[in-house]
Amino acid sequence: MNDGGKSAIAAGDEVVSVSEVNALEKKVKQLEQMLGRKTMEAEILRDALEIAQAKKLISRMPLLPPDDTPSSE
């Protein structure tokens, strides 16, 4: 056993195998990638919502007659 393992046992710490550390690092990397994709997806949806709301406001604007004066009906 190397010195790090001996000192961990002496201190009462848990000893973890290298393969377990590698597996956990791989899982962390996968989760970071997933978080990045979800963040990008949320930004795209937020932008799409802003565009849709702007179009909705434009479509609700009243149409004026060609001379740009309100009709007096």
Give the chain's length: 73
The model's pTM: 0.55
Structure tokens given for 40? 């990008």
Structure tokens given for 33? 């990638």
> Is 70 exceeded by the pLDDT of residue 4?
no
H helices present in the chain, as ranges:
3-11, 18-59
**For residue range 7-37, what is the model confidence (pLDDT) as tens digits?**
767 777 787 889 999 999 999 999 999 999 9
When pLDDT is cut at 50, 70 and 90, the band that residue 38 belongs to is very high
Neighbours of 8 (CB within 10 A): 15
Q: Do 8 and 14 form a contact (C-beta atoms < 8 A)? A: yes
Rounded to whole angstroms, the Cα distance separating 24 from 54 reads: 45
